[in-house]
Amino acid sequence: MSTKAKFHLYRLFWLGAFATIVAVSAPTFGRPKSAVALEDFGRDGSVNSTLDQTLGEEKCAERITTWLEGLPPGRAILLVADANNNRAGVTADLIPYLAWPRPVIVSYDPQKAGREFAGARGRYCAVGFCYFMPPQGAPMSKSFGPALSFVAFDSQ
Amino acid sequence: MRIAGCLVAVVTLFLAGGGFTLACWRGTRSILLAELLGLGWMVGAGIVSLLLVLGGLAFSGPVLLCGVTALCLLLGLVGARKIQRGLRVEIGYADARPWEKWLGLLLLFPIFYIGYASFRDAMVFDGLINWEAKARHAFLAGGSLPASYFTDATRAAYHPRYPLYLPFSELWIYLWAGDCDQTLVKILFPIFYAAAILLLWSSVVRLTGRVWAATLTSLLPIAVPLMADHGFGLVQGYADFPLAAMYLAGIGALLAWRLKGLEAGWGVAVICAALLPWIKQDGILLLASLLAVAALVHGSSQWRRFVIFALPGIAIALFWRLAMHWVHAAGEPGFQPVTAGTLAQNLPRFGTIVRFMGDRLSTPRIWSLLWYWVPVALISLGWRQRRLALWLSVAVFLPLVLDIPAYLFTALDLQFHLNTSFDRLALQISLVTVLCLGLALARPPSAEPPHSAQPAEGT
């Protein structure tokens, strides 16, 4: 086989290799499939729109931030969230994000959360329940949609 | 005003990186425009983030913003002076045929697509709470992260020890825009992608001189699902793709220095190596891999030069480690003690880890057939250039080998840890694997036929 023929065969082989890579992924191009349900996140991907989406009300991020600013500074919040709910996970990730620099302890363990709640008054300034049924008789101070509510022990 | 501020942030960041790259450019060979743009962005993000960290120790607010901006402009001026003094910037099309030049226009497609995907998708998980959150917190604190951020045990799971290359690039946008605008900040992602594509293009052009092969190679990442918008990557605000781009730039420059006599390549590789551990902690493994390739490339006769090559990267890695030690940064949940006993106990994990790696890399919905072709490309290259094939094999496979101990000693559930991290670790070396395919495509097994194009400048 001549040098030129070898050269062209070689190039064709690698162009074919590139083509196989394109061909295999072509059916899924532009249609990403994520491990999580991206519909749980807001349309523009911001925290504002995501919380509006997960909590079902408008301007949640702004309202939560304002409410958190009214709590005594420095003291931590306990947030109890449903471990088996995607939206609870997304929301629970965003509360510490909004609450910074206030410490937020997120608990996905309902038994531990129940025990913590019993002795929470001295340790936390508020306890939040995210997609999680609060203990019966807990005096709810503030709700952000049906899925997130807080008990504040003392506000400024 | 926000958009105008964002544009100023982008331009100043590029001026800093472009100016620094030009200032460090050595030798008489010209710099390719694609190199200047790609390195300008990647290095600029490193410079601005480092300046914000160091400047933030003493200043905050407008003083910090003005100070860093002034330094960016100064670097830009230094670069401009270098061009005035005779350093040429070339497009790299000097020997390209007209159809090759037109082919280059196709590269706009993946860049625009990633731009569209970035604004379509949300920043999620790590992209938001590990990376962007640092930018937001620093913005709210006046431009720097207070020590309390690093010591807050309740946020230890959000990796406060992660370095600040990407978050403080985002902070730069916030500082100029005057708000934590999470939509606006996504402008960074397609620019990082464009920088990666330009660096891939210029690496292939430098190493082979074939513009058409460089263009086809640079189009390949958009056809690989994880390198485009499937899974958690650049468009979700993760730092792994910028890390991959920096690793590619370092390997490409090092090879161009050694194989093509590009004098400036050595300095560029040093800069890229230095910034690897500043992008992500995993960058230390890539730094180790790049240093291993550099050790082979330098050989025993140039060991002094190799030591100088290694120092900046090690210095930056140590700087951040010591800084985290000094502020008593909260520990990250993650690893069991590294002892012989733990190793013996966890050794049975080895098979699981290697099987998992093989399974994932051969899964078409994640990687298409990219990893199937990598060994073929390396064998093909090794047919005529054994040294090049050896160096590229180390660059591709050593990071994977170095990942294994992390999984052997993980304190997390092994399967969970593998599921949530391995794809991203592989993503960090993916651009170098594409470079292997590009080099294989461009290099014929025997002499060139009579009518082929001459190699472009730099080959």
Q: Which residues pair with A105 in a beta bridge?
A: A78
Question: Measured between CB atoms, which of A21, A38, A101 is closest to B224?
Answer: A21
A83 & A106 share domain: yes
pLDDT tens column, A1-10: 788 888 889 9
Asked if residue A143 is part of any domain, the answer here is yes
The pLDDT value given to residue B458: 36
Structure token pair of residue B137: 């917190």
pLDDT value, residue B459: 34
- Is A138 part of the contact surface with chain B (CB cutoff 8 Å)? no
A40 found inside a domain: no
Higher pLDDT, B145 or B449: B145
The span from the CA of B263 to the CA of A89, in Å, is 52
- Are A27 and A51 in the same domain? no
Does B368 contact A4 at a Cβ distance shorter than 8 Å?
no
Q: Would an 8 Å CB–CB cutoff place A5 in contact with chain B?
A: no
- Answer whether B309's CB lies under 8 Å from B276's CB: no
For residues B37, B43, B48, B52, the Cα torsion angle rounded to the nearest 10 degrees is 170
More confident residue, B33 or A32: B33
- Contact residues for B8 (Cβ-Cβ < 8 A; gap 6+): B176
User: Is there a domain that residue A104 lies in?
Assistant: yes
Which domain, by its residues, includes A77? 45-152
Domain count, chain B: 1
SS3 per-residue string spanning B96-160: CCHHHHHHHHHHHHHHHHHHHHHHHCCCCCHHHHHHHHHHHHHHHCCCCCCHHHHHCHHHHHHCC
A133 and A65 share a domain? yes
Does the beta carbon of A96 lie under 8 angstroms from any beta carbon of chain B? yes
Looking from the CA of B118 toward its CB, the CA atoms found within 13 Å total 25
pLDDT for B15 equals 97
Check whether residue A59 and residue A93 sit in a common domain: yes
In A, which residues are within 8 Å of B125 by CB distance?
36, 93
H or E element: which one contains B90? strand B89-90
Q: Is residue A68 part of a domain?
A: yes
- B246-286: per-residue pLDDT in tens? 999 999 999 999 999 999 999 999 999 999 999 999 999 99
Name every chain A residue with its beta carbon within 8 A of the beta carbon of B228: 29, 32
CA-based R_g, chain B, Å: 21
Decide if pLDDT at B452 tops 90: no
Q: What is the mean pLDDT of residues A126-154?
A: 83
pLDDT at B451 exceeding the cut of 50: no
CA end-to-end distance (rounded Å), chain A: 88
pLDDT, tens only, B168-180: 999 999 999 999 8
A110 and A134 in a single domain? The answer is: yes
For residue B331, count other CB atoms closer than 10 A to its CB.
12
Total CB pairs under 8 A between chain A and B = 137
C-beta of residue A141 within 8 angstroms of C-beta of residue A94: no
Q: How far apart are CA B431 and CA B217, in angstroms?
A: 10
Q: Find residue B372's DSSP bridge partners.
A: none
- Top residue of A11, A12, A24 to mutate, by most chain B CBs within 10 Å, is A24
Contacts B449 to A, Cβ<8 Å: 3-4, 7-8
**B399 confidence band (pLDDT: 50, 70, 90):** very high
Please tell me the distance from the alpha carbon of residue B21 to that of residue A130, in angstroms, as a whole number: 50
Residues A23, A59 within the same domain: no
Q: Identify whether the C-beta of residue B203 lies closer than 8 Å to the C-beta of residue B435.
A: yes
The answer on A19 and A67 residing in a single domain is no
Query: Which tokens belong to B285?
Result: 């493994």
Could you tell me if residue B242 is inside a domain?
yes
Within a domain: B102: yes
The residue among B82, B67, B69 whose CA lies nearest residue B19 is B82
Is B182 part of the contact surface with chain A (CB cutoff 8 Å)?
Answer: yes
For the record, the structure tokens of B320 come out as: 């951040």
Contacts of B364 in chain A (CB under 8 A): 24-25
B31 sits in which H/E element: strand B31-32
DSSP codes of every residue in B160-213: TTS-SHHHHHHHHHHHHHTS--TTGGGGHHHHHHHHHHHHHHHHHHHHH--HHH
pLDDT-derived band at B132 (thresholds 50, 70, 90) equals very high
Lookup: tokens for B431: 């651009």
Q: Look at phi and psi of residue A41 and say left if phi exceeds 0, alpha if psi is from -120 to 50, else beta.
A: beta
Shortest CA distance from B224: residue in chain A: A25
In a domain, B187, yes or no: yes
Between residues B154 and B71, the one the model is more confident about: B71
Q: Does one domain contain both A50 and A25?
A: no
Residues from chain B that touch A47, judged by Cβ atoms under 8 A, are 128, 182
E-strand spans in chain A?
Answer: 76-81, 104-107, 124-130, 142-143, 148-152
Q: Residue B122: what pLDDT?
A: 78
B376 vs A contacts (CB less than 8 Å): 17
Among B88-97, B124-133, B358-367, the range with the most confident prediction by mean pLDDT is B358-367
- Which residues in chain B have Cβ-Cβ distances shorter than 8 Å to A6? 444-446
Q: Is the pLDDT of residue B63 over 50?
A: yes
* Chain B residue with the nearest C-alpha to that of A12: B441
Q: So what's the pLDDT on residue A33?
A: 62
Chain centroid to Cα B357, Å, comes to: 22
pLDDT at A36 over 70: no
The two three-digit tokens of residue A14, written as one number: 């690698």
Structural domain range at position B440: 2-453
The residue behind tokens 């601005």 is B48
Distances B158 to B255, B331, B423 between C-alpha atoms, Å: 37, 11, 19
Predicted local confidence at residue A40, as pLDDT: 59
Nearest CA in chain B to A103: B154
Q: Which of B394, B405, B403 is nearest to B361 (CA)?
A: B403
What is the per-residue pLDDT across B187-241, written as a single tens digit (0 to 9) for each?
Answer: 999 999 999 999 999 999 999 999 999 999 999 999 999 999 888 889 889 999 9
Is a pLDDT exceeding 70 seen at residue A147? Answer: yes
> Token pair for residue B146?
């207070």
Tokens (6 digits) for A104: 């937020």
Confidence grade of residue B361 (pLDDT, cut at 50, 70, 90): very high
Between positions 42 and 81 of A, the ones with CB within 8 A of B are 42, 44-48, 50, 76
| Chain A residues near residue B113 by CB distance under 8 angstroms | 30
Is there a domain that residue A118 lies in?
A: yes
- Specify whether the backbone of B97 is left (phi greater than 0), alpha (psi in -120 to 50) or beta: beta
CB B455 within 8 A of CB B209: yes
Q: Locate the chain A residue with the closest alpha carbon to B420.
A: A35
The answer on A61 and A128 residing in a single domain is yes
Q: What is the mean pLDDT of residues B432-436?
A: 98
| Number of domains comprising chain A | 2
CB contact under 8 A, B152 and A103: yes
Residue A8 pLDDT: 87
A88 falls within a domain: yes
Residue B458 within any structural domain of the chain: no
Predicted pLDDT of residue B449: 40
The nearest alpha carbon in chain B to A95 belongs to B129
The structure's pTM equals 0.92
pLDDT, average across residues B299-318? 94
Query: In this complex, is the C-beta atom of B117 within 8 Å of any C-beta atom belonging to chain A?
Result: yes
Which pLDDT score, from 0 to 100, does residue B454 have? Answer: 37
- Read off the pLDDT of each residue in B290-309 and give the average, rounded to a whole number: 94
Q: Is residue A39 part of a domain?
A: no
